[in-house]
Structure 1
Amino acid sequence: MDTITLLQLLQTHSPAVAAFSLFFFFLLLRLRPHKYKHEGLPPVPAVPGLPVIGNLLQLKEKKPYKTFTQMAHKHGPIYSIRTGASTLIVLNSAQVAKEAMVTRFSSISTRKLSNALKILTSDKCMVATSDYNEFHKTVKRHILANFLGANAQKRHRIHREGMMENILRQFDEHVKTFSDLAVNFRKIFATELFGLALKQALGNNIESIHVEELGSTLSREDIYKILVVDIMEGAIEVDWRDFFPYLKWIPNRSMEMKIHNLYIRRKAVMKALMNEQKKRMASGREVNCYFDYLVSEAKDLTEDQVSMLIWETIIETSDTTLVTTEWAMYELAKDKTRQGRLYEELRDVCGQEKVTEEQLAKLPYLGAVFHETLRKHSPAPIVPLRYVHEDTQLGGYHIPTGSEIAINIYGCNMDEDRWENPYEWKPERFLDEKYDPMDLYKTMAFGAGKRVCAGSLQAMLIASTAIGRLVQQFEWELGQGEEDNVDTVGLTTHKLHPLQVKLRCRNQ
């Protein structure tokens, strides 16, 4: 059996932390995956030598979801990894993942967050990261009622339509002014998506805000960086003490200070934004937004909790939908045949009219493009770890109390037993009659069971309509060297470099 080290699973940006971690790996770590035996978890086999030796070249991978998937090819869809601190159970197939999220949910419903995420989420004060308890049920009910549910989506539709018109106008202006130059897709799309998030959360698209605690007036670009970009980078910051709890007494001040500063800056900006909305409400002006709803309907929540819930809607609207849409346009720009097929469907169904949300159910190939992009480029490739708080069974194997569960969504969607040629982007696989065109859970991208993603409907409406409108209006071609530009950021599937594309208006 090969010796695998935890180093290949870590992503760190600090040379000091890397060197310090490496020292402890040499002294303490012996990490091995192994198949289950039905009588329980077998002991870790003894392998002579230091486990780090021979694996240093694997450090360059730094993509644990890919590493886990590669290990599944050898060890099966469910296996364990032992560190000096705990046993990690890795799930790499939809069948066993659904068993964990649905059948065995009551035994595996507690979140296990990294040190960075504990701070950035105010110790699980979010719908997405809270444990399954009364707080989670309450705040999920609120977010569905005003922000993400079907009726809420109807009320916010005007904002989505306005966003798309702004995006198309900017792309059109670029084509008319710089017809031969590639355009930065993300710069335009992400800016407008952030504007949508602000309107839905706070009632208006804030251009600037004075933040007293920071002593400066911030532009919208500054606000976006503090609320979205910096936090996403901080969320994937690795603290080696997460893997060795018995060494938590050892300081890691550089990491702690970085995360603390991100938290303080985020909190200060959210306070300033909320204070502006309080002034608006005091003047008698109320609007359809999440802030106004929480102030009137969630009086049992503290101000800090309201701030976190408002911020959660901003970052999740701004980031995950961007990931899906950017990858979809990359795949379509690379594959002219499939882009042409989608355009033909849009023309046949919509004629000269613009794609609307009502027409999505009549556009199966557009839906297939959306779902295939989610499958291959799932925005959350690994579900945040869950803690097993009572003995249970998974895949026919005994899982003892204290184990941690990692659900590898990427591995589930690359399972060769379920998907033919899984590494190929092939929307046609979702045109099979067994799939309901409006079924949002064809892949594992949105999870399953009681913790299924609350934002799945909004993601589908934004991304699918955007893809349709963009292909209706423009022909897409990758910029020079863009086809091989597929690296991602750290532990995520977020494209490392913004998509550069050349556009040509279809009415020319």
Structure 2
Amino acid sequence: MEALLAALAAADWAAVAAVGGLVVVIILAAKAGLAMGHKDRTNGPPVVPGLPIIGNLHQLKEKMPHKTFAKWCDIYGPIYTIRTGISSVVVLNSAEVAKEAMVAKFSSICTRKLSKALSVLTRDKTMVATSDYGDFHIMAKRHIMAGVLGSSAQRKFRNTRDMMIENMLRTYHKLVTDDPNAPQNFREVFKAELFRLSVIQSLGVDVSSVYVKEFEREVSKEEIYQTIVVDMMMCAIDVDWRDFFPYLRWIPNTSFETRVLRTESRRTAVMRALIHQQKKRIACGEAKVCYLDILLAENTLTDEQLTMMAWEEIIESADTTLVTTEWAMYELAKNPEKQDRLYREIQDVCGDEMVTEDHLPRLAYLNAVFHETLRRHSPVPLIPPRFVHENTKLAGYDIPGGTEIIINLYGCNMNKEDWKEPEEWRPERFMEGSFEDADMYKTMSFGAGRRACAGALQATTISCTAIARFVQEFRWRLKEGDEDKVDTVQLTSYKLHPLYVYLTPRVGK
């Protein structure tokens, strides 16, 4: 109840015409909530007890609901029901049930349910990751696979990825040479080169700056990154308390609305400026192998679709790959014996040759390091909610149409029934014979079925090649006192504290 009162107290009451009307609505909602609680749930999933009106919201105020969901799994099992306001939500916390929902029951469970912030930022689902499964989703995914993320397209960007990793290594070597005793900020170097790759793949060229008409000035590369990547990620996890109480949507939440609309308009202004700049290049006859040129050649997309699809490729390439690679290097720096095992494998497979993408299929322990990092530090702890279209059965329970479903990937990957000592980061679990190649996706981090992540191949290739080259070139050690710095930014897996490491060049490298 305190959470609701705090939210209501923060509302812009100057625009509320009648407080009495609010009281009536709340009373009616309370009665409706109590009535819902008395419905026959003979074969429904277990229900987590909550309060009238607000349901279980008061138990989720720590901003890391995926961890609370995982704890409830120990009490109520891998599938249970909670209430957020007056809405009932079924939460899935095991890979077996999640796969059933995403694959076997896909036709009944495939529509996205977005928060107010995500609805605005995605222009009402005008992007592959958040769109409902239908004609637009199929068309957009076909374009992004053919243009950037499919195996054929990935081969075209091989030289760009190689350049990205060489640039990072060159920068790390220079930093160590300039000050060998200083800890280095891993994220700053990796982030800059990953963003460069995403921009080249999407727009065709690296961009140092762009003139934005709406800003009436030139915008630097750093501000471009801040506007179309960082600000968008932070805004996407912003919560409008009215999402939980749709019957109170008439109450203004001015600060939230202003923040989201401003972030979205700035993103759109910068993206349109970038696209306009590249259209001038194309008009001069300078074609590039890139996503934008392919989209423009289609000549079937609206300006909004073009803007959103070009932006989606950039933000998704510049986000989850960074999260996974930073956590992998944190764990390897923290566990020198595992780092040494990986280095020995690289020596055995590659000898004096530098690691390339061609070596990846033969580096089994590297593959285990990558997938164990995905398991322990799921890049997306919670999959955006979905709606059940029609009455269906899930894990033996009856799920009525209209129910909202949340898949807790963190809970799936920390489920004690599936993973021994899940709190431990132990790549060896993927080397023990219980996982065949197809089972490497047991972590569910790339989803499953027809909505599996389109960027799985690129993320795996970039992250694994980078990890191998980093360990081949340097010995990694954590900055003193950083061993327990594992906090994340709210409900994401983005590391709250950037990774700082001491780097020692390997002898002969």
* Fold agreement, TM-score > 0.5: yes
Structure 2 counterpart SS, 1:246: helix
* Residue equivalent to 1:16: 10
The whole-number CA distance in structure 2 between the counterparts of 1:64 and 1:91 is 13
One-letter code of the match for 2:412? C
* Residue equivalent to 1:340: 340
Structure 2 counterpart SS, 1:385: strand
Q: TM-score, normalised by structure 2?
A: 0.91
Given that 1:361 and 1:438 are in contact with CA atoms closer than 8 Å, whether structure 2 keeps it comes out as no
2:307 pairs with 1:275:
no
Residue by residue over 1:3-37, the C-alpha shift from the partner in whole angstroms, topping out at 9 and shown as x without a partner, is xx8959xx99x993699xxx99x987889999x96
Residue by residue over 1:22-55, the C-alpha shift from the partner in whole angstroms, topping out at 9 and shown as x without a partner, is x99x987889999x965336888797999899x6
* Residue equivalent to 1:460: 460
- Following superposition, the deviation at residue 396 of structure 1 comes to 0.5
* Residue equivalent to 1:169: 170
The whole-number CA distance in structure 1 between the counterparts of 2:313 and 2:439 is 23
- Following superposition, the deviation at residue 489 of structure 1 comes to 0.4
* Residue equivalent to 1:93: 94
* Residue equivalent to 2:447: 447
Residue by residue over 1:456-504, the C-alpha shift from the partner in whole angstroms, topping out at 9 and shown as x without a partner, is 0000000000000000000000012211111000110100111111100
Q: Structure 1 15/501 Cα, relative in aligned 2: closer, same or farther at 3 Å?
A: farther
| Structure 2 unaligned spans of 5+ | 14-21
- Following superposition, the deviation at residue 443 of structure 1 comes to 1.3
Given that 1:116 and 1:235 are in contact with CA atoms closer than 8 Å, whether structure 2 keeps it comes out as yes
The whole-number CA distance in structure 1 between the counterparts of 2:273 and 2:95 is 43
2:312 pairs with 1:291:
no
Aligned partner of 2:44 among 37, 40, 46: 40
Given that 1:364 and 1:437 are in contact with CA atoms closer than 8 Å, whether structure 2 keeps it comes out as no
Residue by residue over 1:62-119, the C-alpha shift from the partner in whole angstroms, topping out at 9 and shown as x without a partner, is 2011010011111100000024421100000011111111111111110000000000
Structure 1 window deviating more from structure 2 (124-133 vs 440-449): it is 440-449
| Structure 1 unaligned spans of 5+ | none
* Residue equivalent to 1:221: 222
The whole-number CA distance in structure 2 between the counterparts of 1:450 and 1:497 is 35
The whole-number CA distance in structure 1 between the counterparts of 2:3 and 2:50 is 19
Structure 2 counterpart SS, 1:199: helix
Given that 1:440 and 1:457 are in contact with CA atoms closer than 8 Å, whether structure 2 keeps it comes out as no
Structure 2 counterpart SS, 1:477: strand
Given that 2:12 and 2:251 are in contact with CA atoms closer than 8 Å, whether structure 1 keeps it comes out as no
The whole-number CA distance in structure 2 between the counterparts of 1:75 and 1:177 is 56
One-letter code of the match for 1:39? N
2:381 pairs with 1:384:
no
One-letter code of the match for 2:387? Y
* Residue equivalent to 1:235: 236
The whole-number CA distance in structure 2 between the counterparts of 1:276 and 1:421 is 52
Given that 1:37 and 1:397 are in contact with CA atoms closer than 8 Å, whether structure 2 keeps it comes out as no
One-letter code of the match for 2:413? N
Residue by residue over 1:172-204, the C-alpha shift from the partner in whole angstroms, topping out at 9 and shown as x without a partner, is 011111111101110010011000000000011
One-letter code of the match for 2:383? V
Q: Structure 1 7/476 Cα, relative in aligned 2: closer, same or farther at 3 Å?
A: farther
Structure 1 counterpart SS, 2:211: strand
One-letter code of the match for 1:320? T
The whole-number CA distance in structure 2 between the counterparts of 1:218 and 1:444 is 38
* Residue equivalent to 2:367: 367
Given that 1:361 and 1:437 are in contact with CA atoms closer than 8 Å, whether structure 2 keeps it comes out as no
Structure 2 counterpart SS, 1:342: helix
* Residue equivalent to 1:428: 428
The whole-number CA distance in structure 1 between the counterparts of 2:95 and 2:145 is 26
Structure 1 window deviating more from structure 2 (231-240 vs 213-222): it is 213-222
The whole-number CA distance in structure 2 between the counterparts of 1:156 and 1:327 is 25
Residue by residue over 1:185-241, the C-alpha shift from the partner in whole angstroms, topping out at 9 and shown as x without a partner, is 100100110000000000111011110111121111000000100000000000001
* Residue equivalent to 2:250: 249
* Residue equivalent to 1:310: 310
* Residue equivalent to 1:102: 103
Q: Structure 1 440/285 Cα, relative in aligned 2: closer, same or farther at 3 Å?
A: farther
The whole-number CA distance in structure 1 between the counterparts of 2:343 and 2:317 is 27
One-letter code of the match for 2:502? K
2:387 pairs with 1:393:
no
* Residue equivalent to 2:410: 410
- Following superposition, the deviation at residue 433 of structure 1 comes to 3.2
The whole-number CA distance in structure 1 between the counterparts of 2:294 and 2:64 is 40
The whole-number CA distance in structure 2 between the counterparts of 1:159 and 1:15 is 52
- Give the number of aligned pairs: 494
CA RMSD of aligned residues (A): 3.0
Q: Structure 1 505/302 Cα, relative in aligned 2: closer, same or farther at 3 Å?
A: same
The whole-number CA distance in structure 2 between the counterparts of 1:46 and 1:497 is 34
Given that 2:95 and 2:442 are in contact with CA atoms closer than 8 Å, whether structure 1 keeps it comes out as no
Q: Structure 1 437/106 Cα, relative in aligned 2: closer, same or farther at 3 Å?
A: closer
The whole-number CA distance in structure 2 between the counterparts of 1:265 and 1:288 is 27
* Residue equivalent to 2:16: none
Q: Structure 1 135/259 Cα, relative in aligned 2: closer, same or farther at 3 Å?
A: same
The whole-number CA distance in structure 1 between the counterparts of 2:191 and 2:318 is 7
Show the 5 A alignment for 1:61-210: 61-210=62-211
Q: Structure 1 505/241 Cα, relative in aligned 2: closer, same or farther at 3 Å?
A: same
Q: Structure 1 49/230 Cα, relative in aligned 2: closer, same or farther at 3 Å?
A: closer
Q: Structure 1 438/363 Cα, relative in aligned 2: closer, same or farther at 3 Å?
A: farther
* Residue equivalent to 1:473: 473
One-letter code of the match for 1:397? Y
Structure 1 counterpart SS, 2:80: strand
- Following superposition, the deviation at residue 352 of structure 1 comes to 1.2
The whole-number CA distance in structure 1 between the counterparts of 2:440 and 2:2 is 34
Structure 2 counterpart SS, 1:296: helix
Q: Structure 1 75/179 Cα, relative in aligned 2: closer, same or farther at 3 Å?
A: same
Given that 2:194 and 2:318 are in contact with CA atoms closer than 8 Å, whether structure 1 keeps it comes out as yes
Given that 1:38 and 1:397 are in contact with CA atoms closer than 8 Å, whether structure 2 keeps it comes out as no
The whole-number CA distance in structure 1 between the counterparts of 2:489 and 2:272 is 29
Given that 2:12 and 2:253 are in contact with CA atoms closer than 8 Å, whether structure 1 keeps it comes out as no
Q: Structure 1 323/50 Cα, relative in aligned 2: closer, same or farther at 3 Å?
A: closer
Given that 2:48 and 2:81 are in contact with CA atoms closer than 8 Å, whether structure 1 keeps it comes out as no
